[in-house]
Structure 1
Amino acid sequence: MYVRCMHEVEWRTLASGFAMPEAPLWDHKSQSLLITDVQAGGVWHITEDRKDLLVAHRRGIGGLAREVNGGLIVSGKNLSLKSDAGNLVLATPAGGSPTARFNDLTVSEAGRIYVGSIDSEPGGRVNQPGELVMIDTDGAQTVVATGLQKTNGLGFSPDGKWLYHVDTGVGIVWRHEVHAAGTLVDSRPLTQWNNGIPDGLAVASDGTVWVAVADLDDWSYICVLSPSGEELRRIPTRERSVTSLCFGGPDLCTVFVTVGGAYDRNAQNGRVDTFRSDVAGLPRPFARIEVAPN
C-alpha cells in the first residue's frame, strides 16, 4: 500500500559553486557523480573531496550518459559521443532552427538513447514544438513522440516496459508503453501539476517515479509517484530552484539533487545536495552505438 505524506530527510551538500547544475549521472563504473553546468559550461566529475572539470567550455549540456566503451554522450546543440578516439555527432535537432537544442536523455537496457529536443528562447518562449528521438544502436534515428513544449526528465520502469517523460511546458509526466523495437505507443499522462514546474526525474527499483519539482509558492521538492501516478510523498528541498536528481552510491540509495542556480552564468549559488533513501535506484545503462568516430 502507498501512503502519501511529507517526508523530511537529512540533507548534506556534496559540492557547490555552480551557475546552474543539471543532469546528474551516477557513473557506476568509476563510482562517482557527473553533472553539467548549463550556464557556466562543462561536465564536472565529483567525488567526496573534490570536483574536476571533465569536459570544458561547452554550455547548455542538458543530458549525459556513459557509452559502453568509456565514452560520454552529451546533449546540447547536437547529441555527440565524446571519447579518446574523437568527437562523433550522433544527431542534430530537426528543422535547422538556431534556437533548437537537445535536452535531457536516458538509455534503455538495449543501449538505445532517448533524447528530447527543445526550440525556445532564453526567456522561455517556445518557437516550435519539440520531439523525442530514439538513437538506435546502429545510429539510426526515429522520432518516437512529437508536440512537446519543453521536454525534460526521462526514465524507464524497472522492467523496461514503460518510459516516463516530463514535459515541463505543460506540467505533465507522460507514461509511454515501449515496444520491443524501442518505439513508443499508448502515451498517457501519469500526472500533471498546476502550481509546480516538474523538471528531471529518476525511477527507483520499486517502480516509484521521483520528480524534481519547483513550487511557485514555496520550497521546491522531490515528488514521489506510484507507477500509476498517485502522489506518495513530497521531500522538501532547501531551495526555490531544483533541476534534477539521480540515485547513486555503492548501494544506489544516495539521492543526488541539483539545486539552486540561476540563468546568470556568473552566479555561483548552485550546488549538489544529497540525502539517503530507504529504496535503491536503478543504474543508468550504457549507451551502445555500433559506429566509430572518424
Structure 2
Amino acid sequence: MTAVEVAVHEHATLGEGPTWDSREQRLIWVDILGSRVHTFDPDTGRRTVMVTEQHVGAAKPREGGGLVVNLRDGVGVYDGIDGFRWLHRELVPGRRGNDAAVAPDGALWFGTMRYDEAAGGGTLSRLAPDGTARTVLDSVAVSNGIGWSPDGRLMYYVDSPTRSIDVFDVGDDQLPVDRRQLAAVDDGLPDGLAVDADGCVWVALWDGGAVHRYTPDGTLDRVLELPVLRPTACAFGGADLTDLYITTARKGLEAPHPLSGSVLVVPGAGKGLPQPAFAG
C-alpha cells in the first residue's frame, strides 16, 4: 500500500478539481454537488469554504485576484470586490460545468457534461483572456482531465466513458490538433489528471481506487493504490510541488469508505509543474 495520508477530512459528495495556488500557497478544490469551493493551507491547517451560486465543476486562481469558476450555466468570477459576475453563459437544461484547467497562455479550458452523463451531451471549450469563448470539442460525454506537457506543445484530455487518455498537438493558434490515444484504461474510468515535470501524466481512476502514472509514450510505470474507490482528480502542491493531492467522492456509494470525500496526499510523490492563473 502506498504511503497515503489524509490532508483534509471531509465528506464531500463529489470532491474534485484540486489546484495548487502558488501565490497563496494553498490548495483549492471543489465539492461539485455541494456547490462549495474549499481552500486548505497545509502549513497552518487553515481552511475556508465558499458556497457558490450553482453546482461548481472547478475553481482556479485568477491573475487579477479571486477565482474563476466553472458553474452549471457557464463561467464566472468571484473577485472579492464586486462579488460574483459572469464571464460566459451557456444555459443548457440538464447540463453542468465539470473539470477545467488553465493553459500556459492563461486561457481557461472548461468542460461540460449532462447530469445523466448521456453520450454527446458535453463539450470542451476555451475562454481566452479577452473573454472570447470557443467550443473546441462537442459531442463528448463526461469532459474531464485536461493538462499540458512541460513545453506546452502537447495537450492531454479525458472523456471518461471512452476509457481513454488522449493527446493532441497544440497548434500555433493554441488549439489542439491531431487527436490520438496516449493510453487505454481498464481498471476504472480515467478522471482528472496532472502532468509532472518529466512530462508524465498522472490520472485518477474513478471506481479504480488508484492513481496511474503514464510516461510520455503511454507506458504505465507507476500505480498508487488508494484506500477509497472513487478518486476523482490529482494535483501537485506544496512549496516544492512534490506532494500529490487527490480529491475523492462519496457519490453513488452504498457503503463509502470513511475517507471517501476527503482530500488525500502522497508526500514526495514526484515533481509537479507550476500552474498558471487565469489571465482574464
* Superposition TM-score, scaled by structure 1 size: 0.86
Partners of 1:120 and 1:194 in 2: how far apart?
Answer: 24
Letter paired with 1:24: P
Aligned counterpart, 1:43:
37
CA deviation vs aligned residue, 1:26-78 (integer Å, no higher than 9, x gap): 1111111111112222111112323221x214453121211101120111211
Partners of 1:246 and 1:17 in 2: how far apart?
Answer: 18
Aligned counterpart, 1:80:
76
Partners of 2:274 and 2:64 in 1: how far apart?
Answer: 17
> Which of 131, 154, 171 pairs up with 1:179?
171
> Which of 230, 242, 248 pairs up with 1:253?
242
SS in 2 for 1:229: coil
Partners of 1:173 and 1:232 in 2: how far apart?
Answer: 15
Letter paired with 2:64: N
Letter paired with 2:262: R
CA deviation vs aligned residue, 1:259-279 (integer Å, no higher than 9, x gap): 242259xx9841011112353
Letter paired with 2:277: F
SS in 2 for 1:102: strand
Aligned counterpart, 1:279:
270
Partners of 2:119 and 2:93 in 1: how far apart?
Answer: 10
Aligned counterpart, 1:149:
141
> What stretches of structure 1 move > 4 A for 4+ residues in a row?
none
* Residue 288 in structure 1 maps to residue 279 in structure 2: yes
Instruction: After TM superposition, give the deviation of residue 80 of structure 1 in Å.
Output: 0.8
CA deviation vs aligned residue, 1:83-138 (integer Å, no higher than 9, x gap): 12332322233xx43111221111112111111121232xx4x1643221111111
**2:244–2:270: 8 Å Cα contact kept in structure 1?**
no
Count of residue pairs the alignment pairs up: 271
SS in 2 for 1:227: coil
Q: Write the mapping of 1:1-294 to structure 2, written as runs, cut at 5 A.
A: 8-19=1-12, 20-48=14-42, 49-53=45-49, 55-77=50-72, 78-83=74-79, 84-93=81-90, 96-121=91-116, 124=117, 126=118, 128-215=120-207, 220-263=209-252, 269-289=260-280
Letter paired with 2:33: Q
Letter paired with 2:228: E
SS in 1 for 2:57: coil
Letter paired with 1:214: W
Structure 2 residue runs without a partner (length 5+): none
CA deviation vs aligned residue, 1:129-158 (integer Å, no higher than 9, x gap): 322111111111122222211110111110
Partners of 1:173 and 1:127 in 2: how far apart?
Answer: 17
Instruction: After TM superposition, give the deviation of residue 11 of structure 1 in Å.
Output: 1.3
Instruction: After TM superposition, give the deviation of residue 251 of structure 1 in Å.
Output: 0.3
Percent of pairs identical after alignment? Answer: 27
SS in 2 for 1:169: helix
**2:163–2:184: 8 Å Cα contact kept in structure 1?**
yes
The Cα RMSD (Å) is: 1.9
CA deviation vs aligned residue, 1:211-238 (integer Å, no higher than 9, x gap): 001345xxx1110001121111111011
Partners of 1:65 and 1:263 in 2: how far apart?
Answer: 26
Aligned counterpart, 1:5:
none
**2:120–2:138: 8 Å Cα contact kept in structure 1?**
no
Letter paired with 1:168: S
